[in-house]
Amino acid sequence: MFLSNLSSSSLYRLFWLVIILVALLPTGLVSYLLLDKVVQQSREQVLTSLSHRVDLQSEILERELSIQLNSFEQLSQLSDVRLTPTSAVFGYQAGVQLKEFTTQSPLASASYILDRDNWPVEVYPITAERVQLQLITSRVEPFLQQVEQDQILKPLIFNVNSPAMVSALSGNDLTASIDNGWVMVMVLPLVQETQHGSTKFKVVGSLVTLEPYQFFSQILEKWQSNNGGLLLLEQDIKLYSTGLIKENKTDSNIISWDAQIKLADKTFLLRITEPSEGLKAIVFEDLWRLSLIVGSVLLLISCISLLVTRLVGQQIAKLTSQVKAFSQGDYQYRVSGLRFAEFLQVSAVLEQLSKKVITDQAQLEAKVEQRTTALSQANAELNSTLTALTETQSRLIQSEKMASLGQLVAGVAHELNTPLGICVTATGSLEEVERSLNSMVSSGTLRKSELMSQLQTLTDATDLIGRNVRRSSDLVSMFKELSLEHGDEDEGLTQFELKSFLQQLANLRLNSQDSAGVDIQVSGDEIFVQTYMSTLRKILSVLFANARDHAFKNQASRGLKPKVELSCRRTDGLVELCFLDNGSGVDIEPIARIFEPFYTSNRYQGSVGLGLHLAYNLVAQRLQGDIEAENLQQGGLKLSLNFPLQLEPLTQPSSKVLEANWSNASAIKKIDL
Amino acid sequence: MVMKNFICKLICYQMLLLFSFIATATAKVDDPDGQDSISMLYYRETAEPLLKEGLKQFEQESGYKVNLVFVNLNDLKQMLVKGAVNNSLPDVVLAPSDFVSLAPTIKLSKLSPALLSSELIPEALNSMRYQENYYGAPVMSGNHLMLFYNKKYVQNPAKNWQELKAQAVELRAKGIEPIGWNYPEMYWFTSFAATLGGAPLTDGKPSLNSQAYADALIFYKELADSGLIDPTCGYDCAQKDFQEQLFAYSINGEWALADFERDLGDDLGITVIPAIGDKPFRPLFSTIGLIFPGDSLQGKKAKPLAALTLFFQSRRFQDKLFEKQRFLPVNQSSFIQVEAAANNNIKMLLKQLAQAIPMPPDPIMANAWIGMKKGFDRYMADISSAKEAADYMQKFTERDYQKSQPSK
């Protein structure tokens, strides 16, 4: 379905669809995947770069510290240094070595040779003499004891937090200005070999160097990027920090990378941080560049596609104009400027086609001429036949009308004749009584018994006349109801729910005398209708009355309780309202005759036979529907009313309705020529 | 076959020749330290020409060779001490007299009276005494500080420091630096302390924590703070710059006299160092002599060493000391001769010597020099007050000396 729709639509659309599906969409998809890949790779590259940077910097720092420690160990091995704790004689050379070590080291700020009592024998620089060494010596002493006990030479590395120490090492007294008071302390035991005894050496002192982390900036700050940060930690203690610091581990705006640095038995953590914005900017830059390239490619494809489409479209337009000209009859039209062989081929074929069309057209015109002549003749015959048929139809309708009118007039005359005849007879009796009484009174022979008899005759005659006059009046009223040109002109259209209306009607009926003993059931759909409600009520009253008078006439003898079913349903804009009874049904063929005026099976019981006819007219004229009758298989009669769901106000009866007035249920259809 | 035999022989002869060269070279390498060759260390650089000349003569006369090696005074002591530990000591050292206190440490040989000239100046002889024994043979005396000046710039040498400061202003106006001396060295500083009544040792015990030393620190620092002298002034500005006539004055020792005379000629003037107030300046004086570490006088080279000892104390050599290098002899006769032939400069030199006080020979003096330097540096770095620095000098000296004593 889609493809057939597609094939029938514009070629441009097809081209663009193909271009989109074949070129742009795959390109876009691939581009998306590529961009995603590039973003991932860029991100990975950035993170890898960060990781490499951290690893490299940690390696460099580790190496620096290791070199520092190695130099420090070498220093501790110098004889002058080892001998100085026991005799300051060697202090001069040891001092030179200390100076050399301290000045060459990028990290060391001060170096000490302490004797066994932790007293500084040699110090460099001299300002380091200001430093209070208690924080250090308190840890050095147990260390030296351990070394002497274990007879294993090893370094001691620990950190102390002392802004005063850093201030002293900086050469100023402004402790408050010191931001970072952490200092790395390296200690090596100074030993002398023992010539005898169980020990290889004895500890004669210690070599101490102080390295404030504040001065690590010389190495670390050159690694720090403009926006990033750098942190040196040992067991969560911030020994050195600069720049962007990630205080909260969950902070996603900062990316950090850690690397371990080992020095002797110590493990430090170097953490480098970068703002994720910066990294995003790098990734975005790559993304931007690639997007630019992809966009350019897509644009190029689009432009080429557009160009090709336009080119093809122009050719097709030219062919279209040629076809259009042909379609408009201009078979001499020739197209120029076609470029491609395929289109030229099509144009050539079209030209051949036009020539054939011209030839065929001439032939066709000749044939048409012939056929037209024949057709005109046949048409003339048909017209005359139609005229005859129309006249015949009119005559038939007229004779039907006259027959129906005659039937109605005969029926009215018949109905009126009986009561009027009785009235005439009774009036004759009254005249006879009058003459008799006048004669008796004149003759003076009137007796009471005779008077009483004459009065009785008078009374009887009067009753008879009254009844029959009233019946005549009723008949006239009934006849008047048949005139339904406009019905109840005051009644307007009402919107109401049909099933509820039927239920109400049923409830009224159940409570009334007329329908006592009748089981009324309502079923069907809840339908909102717009029609003449009182007319519908009148129709249903007639149907109820008809069922009471005719259907349930012998119900008791049949042993069945009278039952009426009202049902309504909606079908295609119409309402089907069914009135079913379980009575005796109708024994007449065709059953539609029950809607004829004056048809009744209870004529001798006083029924005129106008009820169903009245109902029929009301359905046809007021409700603009129709009514059908049908005997039920299980017994009883079904009357089906079909009328519009939404009725518009009626100003003049339609031709169909007028026709229905004068015929049976099957109306004669006019042929509209 | 013939060719093969020839090539084999050639290789053998080549190898024989090669081994011969090696043996010869080895013999030559061994030669300087051989039985007849003496290794001698000296620290006084200015003595080098004199020593070489003298030793050349000694070699000619005795047939003993002496291998002369210069060692900086600052390295000498610790080198000897380490050498003693490693059993690698020179045969003889020309060292200051206070080195005799190292006798137990570096195992100095005791000198018998036969090796000591009877004409030695008593003070010089006594300076080589340690615990009732002589552990060195004096060779030169004096070794004291004095004030040298350039007559081209100074007509009337300052007699006190106030005058000197006043002259400094005029001299600087002429683009001449007033004075230079080896400011950071304790040999110079302690002379100031001694002038103010202090003494590094009193009765063989350190007495550095005296008021005199505290006052000396203050006075000494003030000289630098006032701009009279650059506190970083060292050997160059004390000697070399004076020789190049960039300085008007120099406080230096008689070891520099010969070089100054050579460079300044008649422009050289010598006078006593300006007094501090009314206190005449009292530099230290000491003796330089031969000491024999590792008990070398009892070793294989006893004979050549004994000959060398006597040679350096001989009249011939002693006379040359002053003549060649302006070193004061320890021989009385030679000294008298110097006094007799003294010109004005030498008279002032001798006058200053008369005001000098002898360097204590006690072993603790070696520790005192170091302790003094420690306290001095602390005071100069504004780490301690003068009193605290003097106390530190004392404490350091005592501690260091205590450590050097054998544990009981």
* Residue A388 placed within a domain: yes
Residue among B321, B327, B319 at smallest CA distance from B257: B327
Which among A479, A513, A539 is the end of a domain? Answer: A479
When mean pLDDT is compared across A220-234, A284-298, A299-313, B1-15, the lowest value belongs to: B1-15
Q: What is the CATH number of the domain that holds B115?
A: 3.40.190.10
A626 φψ region: left (φ > 0), alpha (ψ -120 to 50), beta (else): beta
Q: State whether B338 and B318 are in the same domain.
A: yes
User: Which positions 126-165 of A are in contact with B (Cβ < 8 Å)?
Assistant: 126-127, 129-130
Total of domains in chain B: 2
pLDDT of residue B12: 67
CA-CA-CA-CA dihedral for B298, B299, B301, B307, to nearest 10: 0
Average pLDDT over residues A632-648: 91
Residue A257 and residue A51 in contact, taking contact as beta carbons nearer than 8 Å: yes
User: Within an 8 Å CB–CB cutoff, is residue A619 touching chain B?
Assistant: no
A432 with A537, same domain: the answer is no
B317 and B379 both lie in a single domain: no
> B184-194 burial, b if ≥16 CB within 10 A, otherwise e?
ebbbbbbbbbb
Question: How many whole angstroms separate alpha carbon B375 and alpha carbon B387?
Answer: 10
Residue B296 and residue B281 share a domain:
no
Asked if residue A125 has a cis previous peptide bond (ω within 30° of 0), the answer is: yes
pLDDT-derived band at A396 (thresholds 50, 70, 90) equals confident
Rounded distance between C-alpha atoms, residue A379 and residue A239, angstroms: 116
Confirm whether B55 is domain-assigned: yes
Put simply, the chain B residues between 160 and 219 with a CB less than 8 A from any chain A CB are none
Inside any domain, residue A60: yes
User: What stretch of H or E contains A115?
Assistant: strand A110-115
**Domain that includes residue A584, residue range:** 487-661
Of B374, B380, B404, the CB nearest to A87: B404
Domain boundary among A442, A462, A479: A479
Query: B76, B78, B87, B382: best mutation site toward chain A, by most A Cβ within 10 Å?
Result: B78
Residues A599 and A513 in one domain: yes
**Does the structure show a pLDDT above 60 at A668?**
no
Are B365 and B201 spatial neighbours (Cβ–Cβ below 8 Å)?
Answer: yes
Using pLDDT thresholds of 50, 70 and 90, give the confidence band for residue A320.
Answer: confident
Confidence of residue B39 (pLDDT cuts 50, 70, 90): very high
Q: Assign A1 a pLDDT band (cuts: 50, 70, 90).
A: low
DSSP character for A20? I
Quote the percentage of chain A above a pLDDT of 70: 86
Q: What is the pLDDT of residue A220?
A: 76
First-to-last alpha carbon distance for chain B, in angstroms, is: 80
pLDDT at B25 over 70: no
DSSP assignment letter at B237 = I
Range of the domain at B69: 33-141+286-351
Residue B302: CB atoms within 10 A of its CB come to 15
Q: Is A466 part of a structural domain of the chain? A: yes
Identify whether B68 is part of a domain. yes
Q: Partners of A230 in the beta sheet?
A: A242, A272
Q: Cβ–Cβ of A88/B367 closer than 8 Å?
A: yes
Q: Which of B308, B330, B351 is the last residue of a domain?
A: B351
How confident is the prediction for chain B on average, in pLDDT?
A: 88
Query: Facing residues of B107 across strands?
Result: none
Smallest Cβ–Cβ distance between A88 and the set B82, B381, B400 belongs to B400
- Name the residue facing B381 among A80, A91, A127 (closest C-beta): A127
B74–A92 CB contact, under 8 Å:
yes
Shared domain check, B399 and B327 = no
Residues of A in contact with B380 (CB under 8 A): 126
A234 found inside a domain: yes
Domains in chain A, number? 3
Average pLDDT over residues A298-311: 83
Selection from A356-360, A513-517, B5-9, B391-395 with the highest mean pLDDT: B391-395
- How would DSSP label each residue in B379-393? HHTTSS-HHHHHHHH
Let me know whether A265 and A394 are in one domain: no
Pairing status of strand A563-571 against strand A528-531: unpaired
Highest mean pLDDT among A27-31, B77-81, B191-195: B191-195
Same domain, B236 and B382: yes
The answer for residues whose C-beta is within 8 angstroms of residue A581's C-beta and 6 or more apart is A547, A551, A552, A562, A563, A564, A565, A636, A637
What are the phi and psi torsion angles at B362 (to 5°)?
Answer: -60, 150
Q: Are A397 and A541 in a shared domain?
A: no
Q: Which of A327-336, B58-67, B341-350 has the lowest mean pLDDT?
A: A327-336
Q: Mark whether A175 and A119 lie in a shared domain.
A: yes
Q: For B36-66, what is the HEC assignment?
A: CEEEEEECCHHHHHHHHHHHHHHHHHHCCEE
Q: Do B78 and A86 touch (CB under 8 A)?
A: no
Residues of chain A with C-beta less than 8 angstroms from the C-beta of B396: 88
Helices (H), B63-210: 73-86, 103-106, 122-126, 161-173, 186-195
> How close, in Å, is residue B81 to chain A by CA atoms?
9
By the CB < 8 Å criterion, does B354 face chain A?
Answer: no
Q: Are residues A115 and A250 in the same domain?
A: yes
CA distance B101 to chain A (A): 13
Give a yes or no: residue B9 inside a domain.
no
Q: How far apart are CA A548 and CA A637, in angstroms?
A: 12
Residue A81 sits in a domain whose CATH number is 3.30.450.20
Instruction: Give the HSE-up count for residue A127: Cα atoms under 13 Å, Cβ half-sphere.
Output: 14
Residue A353 in domain: no
Is pLDDT of A671 > 50?
no
Instruction: Return the structure tokens found at A52.
Output: 């490499």
Confidence of residue A666 (pLDDT cuts 50, 70, 90): very low
Tell me if B12 is assigned to some domain.
no
Q: Sheet of B268-271: strands edge to edge? A: B177-180, B247-253, B145-150, B268-271
What does the pLDDT look like over B259-301, one tens digit per residue? Answer: 899 999 999 999 999 999 889 999 998 899 999 999 999 989 9
Examine the domain organization and report whether B189 and B264 are in the same domain: yes
Residues 6+ apart with CB under 8 A from A672: none
**Domain-ending residue, one of A426, A454, A479:** A479
Whether B20 is covered by a domain: the verdict is no
User: Quick check: is B3 in a domain?
Assistant: no
Residue A415 banded pLDDT, cuts 50, 70, 90: confident
On whether any CB of chain A is under 8 Å from the CB of B367, the answer is yes
B400–A79 CB contact, under 8 Å: no
Q: How far is A258 from chain B (nearest CA, A)?
A: 42
Does residue B246 share a domain with residue B332? no
Q: Is residue B268 part of a domain?
A: yes
Burial level of A252, CB count in 10 A (0-12/13-18/19+)?
exposed
- Is there a domain that residue A104 lies in? yes
For B204, list phi and psi in degrees, rounded to 5: 75, 5
Counting Cβ atoms within 10 Å, is residue A144 exposed (0-12), middle (13-18) or buried (19+)? buried
* CB proximity A113 to B under 8 Å: no
* 8 Å CB contact of B81 and A87: yes
Q: What is the CATH number of the domain that holds A575?
A: 3.30.565.10
Whether residue A4 has pLDDT greater than 70 = no
A64 and A173 inside one domain: yes
Q: Which residues of A touch B74 (CB under 8 A)?
A: 92-93
Query: Looking at the partner chain, which of A90, A119, A126 has a beta carbon nearest the beta carbon of B78?
Result: A90
Verify that B187 and B75 share a domain, yes or no. no
Give a yes or no: residue A7 inside a domain. Answer: no
Q: Assess whether A468 and A492 both reside in one domain.
A: no
- The pair of structure tokens assigned to B157 is 């040498």
Burial of A318 (0-12, 13-18, 19+ CB in 10 A): middle
Helices then strands, counting H and E runs in chain B, come out as: 17, 16
- Closest Cα in chain A, distance from residue B171 (Å): 33
The rounded distance, in Å, linking the Cα atoms of A215 and A211 is 7
* Res A514: pLDDT: 61
Query: So what's the ipTM on this one?
Result: 0.78
Please indicate whether, in this complex, the C-beta atoms of A115 and B403 are within 8 angstroms of each other: yes
Which of A115, A121, A126 minimises the CB distance to B377? A126
Q: Do A141 and A265 reside in the same domain of the chain?
A: yes
- pLDDT of residue B28 exceeding 80, the answer is no
Residue A181 lies in a domain: yes
In a domain, B19, yes or no: no
Pairing of strands A120-124, A229-234: unpaired
pLDDT for residue A356 is more than 70 = yes
